[in-house]
A and B are shown apart, each in its own frame.
Chain A
Amino acid sequence: MSHKRRVVITGMGALSALGTTTRDLWNGLLENRSGVRRVQRLVDSGITVTTGGEVDAVSAENLERDHEIANRAIDNALAESKRDAAGCGFIWSTGLDTFQMRPEGFAHRSAGRCFSNLASRFLAPRRMIAAACASGTQAVGEAFRLIRSGQVNACVAGGSSVMLTPFYLIGFAGLQAVAVDNGDDPSLACRPFDKKRKGFALADGAGAMVLETLESARERGATVFAEVIGFGVSQDAFDLNRPCDDGAGAELCMRRALADAEILPEQIDAVNAHATATYSGDLAEAAALRKLFENRWREIPVSGSKGAIGHAMAAAGVLEAIVAAQTCATGIVPPTVNLRHVDEGCELDHVIGEPRDVDARTVLSVSFGMGGQNAAIILSRGLNV
């Protein structure tokens, strides 16, 4: 009999290339639609990568863009949960420093300072997560861990990222991680697991979740979207720029999340994959999932969100966790936007073209960061929630 406190999600906020609400994000995915497009300010800058997941709600000229994007997602999550920031801890990633290109030079904004500004209205713990692309997932997982162990009763967790600038695009192009322009429809730039994948589309975005104990959610009469039941992290310890071919590090964090949730792989109903559309990343992830599910890998629906919203770095994991929570709540697995012809080595039970209603109740959501940090969380519709 476990005496651990149960942790549930009672509010969510999302700013992404698909819009400014979680409904925009979810509906866009169900419609198999991509919000990635050609960004005029990138075209004007003359670089070779001009597509991305732009958040329109806050002007690119706004020097407070990093703070604004994050705060909107946070406020939306708090409003949905009907909770006040002053009663919550804050586990958040603001990603890397922001370099906005301006005619007079580049404007440097410290990610740490942005975090401190955001954190000022919250309770301790106030932890800034720095795990590259795994940051958002780890933020949610750490908040879950802290609430479950009784160190705090509620947390806002998630991440935000403002990196859709020439500074970072040129850097990621140098690593051959982003899809460069080649005359294609820009909405097709990011094609996870597809034969024609060329890398990800960089994106801005923010995602926030309010997590609290099931007990407090019940007492307040709050709407519960999903329960967080497991969390695991690992390090590849392999290479700074690429994952190990067999996905061993990724598999390890998933197994740790399963052990933490005290469930078996066969109890997972669906997967929200990291699915960056990089050549080696997708191969390693598919290998890890096949090993995890053994002979059931053809039966577990897998979906990735980056074809639709791009890669929002520190926000990516939490935006995908929001999608996973929606899957738990509805049972529906959205399609992987832009996946048409599954590449050799990427074989899984991919959801292609249209959503699939499989009554999914327990969803694994995973993120793998540059440098080899891996994080996985497991969400569930829950029993007796």
Chain B
Amino acid sequence: MGRGAGVLFIAFDTEARCVSEEAVEPVGQPGDELVLLVQGEARDSYGLLRKELGAKRHTQMVYLVAAAQHDDLARVRAEKPELWRHLRRYNKPVQLALAAADDVMESSEDPSTAAVISLAPCQPGSADLYSWGHVVTSGMASGTLGNLRMNPTQTLHAVDNLAMSAFAIAHRNHAYCLGLGGAAGQAWCGLEAVQERLDVGLEEEALLMAGDQDAAEDGAAALGVALLFSTRAKPFQRSDRIVRLVSISRSATIVDVVTHAANGLAALLSAIAEHRYGVMSYVVPPAQTDGFSTVTVTLEIS
């Protein structure tokens, strides 16, 4: 019934509507088919798990097929000089998000038709842009604003949907696009949007990308992350693991947050890397949510 010789048993608590503690240390081997035990009865895992978690009208499975992260522009410049020629005008969060997207799209069946969901940075702009802002302030004080001109490249650094537009141009992508703004926890809205699009078969692939920086000043740390999802079953990162996105659920809470568009997705990828196989219920660290919800991302890794 599965790819592997063995069977991996997972227990599901129907009252608590979650995977039970028994799932933490599952028996079986990587590559085994997941089997869900509900009140002692074996069921098909994926569809049932999603149904039990309250998902609606699912017709497609959603697989995470590739992910990439970049935090070093010098490396991008050295390793991908052609890509860098396209990126050099942009600000750092956009450059790093696009570099990560370029990596994952190598696993895409057709980059021109993938849905594109892009997170704007919570710390937008660039050192150049903020310097220019101070020039405007000085100009106001001295009455010389009339002579000021803005470098169009700096104008680009203010644009919130720049990564999405640049990606579309590079890949001739005319497909569904959703730019999400630089507010706390929008990464999980992006993940929900991926599921909404792929579940009902509107697209076969979806790119989720984000870039952000700790501050707009030169030298501040920055990170770009990209994840490629598909409705076709493919191993994650061409490894022996298959990672399926099952659900994203929320429950109300109020917590303090740290606003960063990319860190939350990077932490999710770290958790996936550490979780060898089995059902994974990833509770997003409160600081990486929108401050109003506890977010749980459920995946199956086999």
> Do A119 and B290 have beta carbons less than 8 Å apart?
yes
Quick check: is A97 within 8 A (CB to CB) of the other chain?
yes
Instruction: List which A105-158 residues lie within 8 A (CB) of chain B.
Output: 105-106, 108, 110-113, 115-116, 119-120, 124-132, 135, 138, 142, 145-146, 149-151
Check A110–B182 contact: CB distance below 8 A: yes
B102 to chain A, nearest CB (A): 16
A373 within 8 A of B: yes
Of the candidates B173, B250, B259, B292, the one having the most CB atoms from chain A within 10 angstroms of its own CB is B292
Given A142-B178, A235-B168, A170 and B161 contact (CB-CB distance below 8 Å): no
A–B complex contacts, Cβ < 8 Å, 15 sampled: A46-B140, A47-B145, A116-B183, A119-B292, A127-B189, A130-B118, A131-B161, A149-B200, A167-B136, A236-B174, A237-B174, A239-B169, A370-B161, A372-B168, A373-B165
Whether B184 lies near A112 (C-beta < 8 A) is: yes
- A54 CA to B294 CA, complexed, in Å: 40
Interface size on B, residues (CB 8 A): 64
Question: Could you say which residues of chain B place their CB within 8 Å of the CB of A200?
Answer: none
Give chain A interface residues in 228-257, CB to chain B under 8 Å. Answer: 233-241, 249, 252
Evaluate contact between B137 and A105: CB separation under 8 angstroms: yes
How distant is the Cα of A373 from the Cα of B174 in the complex, in angstroms? 9
Interface of A, secondary structure class, is mixed
Known: A171-B150, A237-B171, A371-B162. A45 touches B182 (CB 8 A): no
Give B161-205 as 1s and 0s: 1 = Cβ < 8 Å from A's Cβ atoms.
Answer: 110111011011111111111111010010011001000100000
Check A48 against B146 for contact (C-beta < 8 Å): yes
With A46-B146, A166-B136 as known contacts, state yes or no: A240 contacts B169, CB within 8 Å. yes
When C-beta atoms are compared, the residue in chain B nearest to A165 turns out to be B136
Q: Does B291 contact A (CB under 8 A)?
A: yes
With A113-B183, A237-B169, A240-B165 as known contacts, state yes or no: A47 contacts B259, CB within 8 Å. Answer: no
With an 8 A cutoff between CB atoms, is A99 at the interface?
yes
> Which residues in window 201-226 of A have CB below 8 A to B?
none
- For residue A183, CB closer than 8 A to chain B, the reply is no
Residue contact B196 to A101, C-beta cutoff 8 Å = no
Contacts of B57 in A (CB 8 A): 149-150
Indicate if the CB atoms of B145 and A174 lie closer than 8 Å. no
Contact between A238 and B169 (Cβ–Cβ < 8 Å)?
yes
Range class of the A interface residue count = 35 or more
Q: What's the least CB distance linking B91 to chain A, in Å?
A: 13
Q: Tell whether A124 pairs with B293 under 8 Å between CB atoms, given A46-B146, A171-B155.
A: yes
What 9 pairs between A and B have smallest CB-CB spacing?
A371-B165, A128-B181, A112-B183, A235-B168, A130-B179, A130-B181, A112-B182, A130-B160, A174-B150
Does chain B have a CB within 8 A of A96? yes
B75 in the interface, Cβ–Cβ < 8 Å? no
User: Given A47-B148, A99-B133, A124-B293, A166–B158 Cβ distance below 8 Å?
Assistant: no
Chain A residues with CB below 8 A from B175, complex form: 234-235
Task: Say whether B120 faces chain A, with CB atoms less than 8 Å apart.
Answer: yes
Q: Are B143 and A174 in contact (CB under 8 A)?
A: no
Determine whether B85 belongs to the interface, using a CB cutoff of 8 Å to chain A: no
Q: Closest residue to A116 on the B side, CB-wise?
A: B183
